Amino acid sequence: MYKAAIAGLGQIGLMYDFDPKRVAPASHTLAYKRTPDIQLIAAMDSRTSQEQYLNKLSPETKFYDDLVLMLRETKPDVVSVCTPPEHRLKILKTIVAEASPKIIFCEKPVALDVFDAKKILEFVRSTDCLVIPNLSRRWLGGMTRIKEAIDQKIFGELQKVHVKYTRGIFNTGSHIFDLIHWFVGAIDTVQVIGQVYTTADKDNDPSYDFLFKTINGTTGYAESFNDEQYYMFELDLYFAKGKVEIRESGNRVVYFEQGSHPLFSGFHSLHAVKEETNLLQESTIANAIQNIIEVLNGNSRPACDINDGLSPLFVADALQQSHVSKTMQKVKVKTYG
């Protein structure tokens, strides 16, 4: 039986599972509690008021308000980091120094900015601890099936990607940049065309329209929208012989294949052949914890690593530089391993 502990009992750490509209488990706490082969032995938060909520959800888990004390007393195999990113590097160093866990499961954003990201990468290089970021859509079955279709070239080569999004290059953008990275390779160059207001502006998280190209040569265009009008998270993947539409933030996926054009002889058009719905009714956090168990058992590789978790920050940094310079910018990614 593996031992787990949580640092940070905010929304994703604990409180999401008190929201009746969310698919349970929605928090790290309940995901550990419901997963065989791992026991949530401890959880901490600097706010002692969170103990009462922890007791409601997982009464057998010991509450701490001191991270160092929790780590020294429990020596967990896995530590979930669900704290804000401002002191992420300090927390990672503390966890490794006091407990030497096998895995740190870290919420996004993994780092506060590019400068912080480089320091975190250097630290991870110096330790044997595996840091797995919670890039949630990597554990979503619908997205995994798209990845398999791409790898198997079911519709031929992926040629273009069109994106529609709201709420910033750091917020929504991190998910989009990671999906593109996962599907077709890291974004290599970006060119900002314009900026659109969203409510994320107040958090210094801008939204841009921009062109991009991946390291594999796939080109794309991302268009941002004002979320006060409507929320958007959509991707269209155009292949040589088909198309995949990702709608409703990944809740619905439609597959198209090439066929005869219904109106014009000698031409092809796209025909819907499969639709998957209600994909977000699946608990990605439960799937993530199960993946961690399989990694600990030596039966699987992690769905993502520290490079994947930090890569979106370098894309966002290049976009900001492109917006200021009004030129194309290369994404200067620093990697580990």
What is the per-residue DSSP string for 218-266? Answer: -EEEEEE--TTT---EEEEEEETTEEEEEEGGGTEEEEEEEEE-SSSTT
Pairing verdict, β 103-106 and 78-81: parallel
Q: Which residues of the chain have pLDDT under 50?
A: 337
Q: How many angstroms separate the Cα of 48 from the Cα of each of 12, 31, 43?
A: 17, 22, 11
Phi, psi (deg, nearest 5) at residue 75: 45, 60
Identify the pLDDT of residue 171: 84
Q: Minimal CA–CA distance to 318: which of 231, 166, 212, 216?
A: 212
179 contacts 143 by C-beta, under 8 angstroms:
yes
**Of 2.60.40.3620, 3.40.50.720, 3.40.50.620, 3.20.20.70, which CATH number belongs to 2-136+285-305?**
3.40.50.720
Say how far apart CA 149 and CA 190 lie, in whole Å: 26
Q: Within the chain, which residue ranges are assigned CATH 3.40.50.720?
A: 2-136+285-305
Identify the pLDDT of residue 86: 87
Q: How many angstroms separate the Cα of 246 from the Cα of each of 89, 293, 327?
A: 34, 29, 30
Q: Within the chain, which residue ranges are assigned CATH 3.30.360.10?
A: 138-280+312-330
Fold classification of 138-280+312-330 is Dihydrodipicolinate Reductase; domain 2 (3.30.360)
Q: How many angstroms separate the Cα of 290 from the Cα of each of 74, 107, 225, 287?
A: 21, 16, 36, 5
39 contacts 2 by C-beta, under 8 angstroms:
yes
Say how far apart CA 57 and CA 205 lie, in whole Å: 34
Pairing verdict, β 130-133 and 242-247: unpaired
Identify the pLDDT of residue 335: 54
Identify the pLDDT of residue 332: 87
Write down the residue that tokens 């399989």 correspond to.
294
What is residue 15's DSSP assignment? G
CB count in 10 Å sphere of residue 201: 15
First-to-last alpha carbon distance for the chain, in angstroms, is 30
Say how far apart CA 245 and CA 254 lie, in whole Å: 5
Contacts of 301 (CB under 8 A, 6+ apart): 295
Identify the pLDDT of residue 334: 59
Return the half-sphere exposure (C-beta side, CA atoms, 13 A cut-off) of residue 158: 28
